[in-house]
A = this chain, B = another copy of it.
Amino acid sequence: MRKTNNLLELDGIDKKILRHLMEDARKPILEIARKIGISGAAIHQRLRKLESTGVISGSKFVINPRVLGYTTMAYIGIYLDRAMSNPRAVGDLKKIPEVLECHYTTGNWSILIKVLCMDNEHLMQVLNKKIQAIEGVSRTETFISLDQQIDRQISI
């Protein structure tokens, strides 16, 4: 790992380690070590450095919501009244568990959110009873994701 222009550049070994762990966070370090031809301890040291510099921001188990009955995913563009402070609306959105992402965006909307619901009826309730109830929300535009074909991280 090198620092150039206040920007981190990973070397080949860092990239190989990360490519393995981005696919499977519990892949044995020693298995990766054998493939790369380096000791397990060396990988651990590199991982600690990657964590401390913020390259790695954590690790997650990924849950498949479909199996648990969550079949409707949607993006919702939200128009906020000009007087409304966005941070407060975001605070209200955080309290809605169906809201998985929230972005301040350029363009028509003030905010673009991603929601995950059991079905379309559930989505309708979230829209009408939870999102429209937030102070400052004037109008929304909903885009249901019928199918997600790509879902990946940055390639390194």
Residues of A at the B interface (CB closer than 8 Å) are: 7-10, 18, 21-26, 53-65, 67-70, 73, 75, 90, 93-94, 97, 99-107, 109, 112-113, 116, 141-156
Contact = CB atoms under 8 A, between A and B. Distances in A.
Contact of A149 (B22, B75, B104): B104
A61 B151 contact: no
B62 A105 contact: no
Nearest to A68: B8
A150 B57 contact: no
B58 A24 contact: yes
Contact of A75 (B67, B93, B105, B144): B105
Contact of A150 (B54, B100, B109): B100
Given A25-B26, A60-B62, A103 B148 contact: yes
B143 A68 contact: no
Nearest to A147: B104
A46 B97 CA distance: 25
B68 A10 contact: yes
A55 B62 contact: no
29 contacts: A8-B67, A18-B63, A24-B59, A25-B25, A25-B59, A25-B60, A26-B59, A54-B64, A54-B67, A55-B63, A55-B68, A57-B62, A57-B63, A59-B59, A62-B153, A63-B153, A65-B154, A68-B154, A70-B154, A97-B154, A100-B153, A101-B148, A101-B152, A102-B149, A104-B148, A105-B145, A105-B146, A107-B141, A107-B142
